[in-house]
């Protein structure tokens, strides 16, 4: 008996997935655990293992198609088995064709296809749906008996061909007859690249963020002398402390300062309601080969500096490897995006909806200041860029957050003593 393999549900918040590449083709033998195809959510990519053993009878969705979770993706069973009842769509329409084909099942399939009408250039007349089905099933559509208007092959004809047992491989197109090529104008070279699932998600999220929020960005800086000295002490200490970065230090400080600015540790539910959180769940922007991802450090305000540092590295590794659970990419109450290592002096980070704020961490530059004794000296200044939703918080409270965060980082060792 043929059985279906369904699209897995990769996380409780995932509703659909996009098929990447099929690793098996129709007619291949598969065993339980074999990789059938790759798929991706809007956050990560995965491999789908077969839950059935037998022959891959039919593929219902092709590369790049979006499939709802728990929907049949393909059928696996014994050679020649009918799998029409497993198709997620079109099963009812295929039933009459299957009934008509049943008497012929006991006879030897006719090897020669019935002649079909063709266009002026010799191409077979076939509907788009029929062509797509034939490509998925790996059959030669030109061998089908056309029943559509003007001798056109329609989807029903391809299904009848598949159920009759005549499933020859798609023939190679004949070599074109050599002809004198007309002179043509030069064509510009370009490539159209479709967005991946994660790129589409980023595009949608950024557009939604900027089109539905009243966003404003404030830029400031602070004297990074203290955190640079503390970072040097940690590096000299060695062991696990040597891996703590300046970015980790900013995350630790932000998780504490946000407790004093609840409107920034919040979600804007609608134009009239804001949800303020008791704990700080820090989203951390991570650059990956597939695009920007924002995993969450849950209850960061209760973690030590070392724990935050380890959590960031672990989550970033999962993001870059593409195997992070989608559940770790939700639930953030405030986000931090660090572009300091790329030399960015200030920027305008875009809020991750429905959060009300995002902090941009910038590079360190040398600036001039007047010392207490009247002399002129330089100091390492680190830039901070805060984007906030002006519907939820005004400019002065947002500026007070930046000011307190800068002062806290300038006296970071005092924060550790609390």
Active site residue 140: no
What size, in residues, is the chain?
418
Any idea what DSSP says for residue 323? -
DSSP state of 265: S
Q: Do residues 169 and 312 lie in contact, with contact meaning Cβ atoms separated by under 8 Å?
A: no
**Which member of 63, 79, 207, 394 is catalytic?**
394
Residue 137 buriedness (CB in 10 A; 0-12 / 13-18 / 19+): buried
Catalytic residue among 63, 79, 207, 390: 390
Beta partners for residue 45, in sequence order = 40
The DSSP bridge pattern shows strands 54-59 and 29-30 to be: antiparallel
φ, ψ for residue 75, nearest 5 deg:
-120, 140
Distance (Å, rounded) from C-alpha 245 to C-alpha 247?
Answer: 5
- 335 with 282: CB under 8 angstroms? yes
Answer yes or no: 394 catalytic: yes
The answer to whether the CB of 223 falls within 8 A of the CB of 384 is: no
| 283: β partners | 296, 335
- Phi, psi angles (nearest 5°) of residue 256: -85, -45
Beta bridge partners of residue 293, listed in sequence order: 286
How many other CB atoms sit within 10 Å of the CB of residue 203? Answer: 12
Q: Which residues are catalytic?
A: 390, 394
């Amino acid at each position: 008996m043929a059985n279906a393999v369904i699209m897995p549900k990769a996380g409780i918040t995932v509703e659909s997935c996009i098929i990447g590449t099929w690793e098996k083709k129709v007619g291949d033998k598969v065993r339980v655990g074999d990789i059938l195809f790759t798929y991706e959510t809007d956050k990560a990519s995965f491999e789908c293992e077969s839950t059935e053993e037998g022959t891959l009878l039919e593929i219902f969705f092709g590369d790049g198609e979006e499939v709802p979770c728990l929907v049949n993706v393909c059928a696996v069973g014994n050679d020649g088995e009918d799998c029409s009842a497993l198709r997620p769509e079109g099963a009812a329409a295929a039933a009459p064709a299957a009934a008509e084909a049943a008497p012929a099942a006991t006879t030897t399939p006719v090897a020669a296809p019935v002649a079909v009408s063709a266009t002026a250039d010799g191409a077979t007349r076939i509907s788009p749906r029929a062509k797509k089905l034939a490509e998925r099933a790996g059959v030669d559509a030109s061998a089908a008996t056309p029943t559509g208007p003007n001798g056109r092959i329609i989807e029903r004809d391809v299904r009848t061909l598949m159920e009759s047992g005549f499933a020859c491989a798609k023939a190679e197109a004949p070599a074109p007859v050599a002809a004198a090529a007309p002179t043509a104008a030069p064509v510009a070279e370009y490539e159209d690249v479709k967005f991946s699932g994660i790129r589409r998600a980023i595009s949608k999220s950024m557009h939604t963020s900027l089109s539905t929020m009243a966003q404003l960005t404030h830029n400031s800086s602070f004297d990074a002398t203290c955190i640079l000295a503390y970072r040097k002490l940690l590096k000299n200490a060695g062991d696990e402390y040597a891996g703590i970065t300046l970015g980790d230090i900013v995350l630790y400080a932000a998780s504490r300062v946000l407790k004093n600015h609840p409107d920034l540790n919040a979600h804007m539910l609608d134009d009239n309601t804001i949800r303020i959180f008791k704990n700080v769940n820090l989203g951390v922007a991570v650059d990956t080969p597939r695009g920007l991802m924002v995993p969450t450090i849950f209850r960061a305000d209760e973690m030590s500096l070392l724990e935050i540092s380890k959590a960031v590295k672990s989550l970033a590794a999962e993001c870059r490897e593409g195997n992070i659970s989608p559940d770790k990419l939700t639930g953030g109450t405030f986000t931090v995006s660090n572009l300091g290592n790329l030399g960015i002096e200030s920027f305008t980070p875009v809020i991750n909806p429905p959060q009300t704020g995002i902090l941009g961490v910038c590079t360190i530059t040398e600036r001039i200041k007047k010392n207490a004794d009247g002399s002129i000296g330089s100091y390492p200044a680190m830039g901070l860029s805060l984007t906030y939703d002006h519907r939820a918080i005004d400019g002065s409270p947002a500026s007070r957050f930046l000011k307190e965060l800068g002062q806290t980082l300038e006296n970071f060792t005092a924060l550790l003593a609390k």
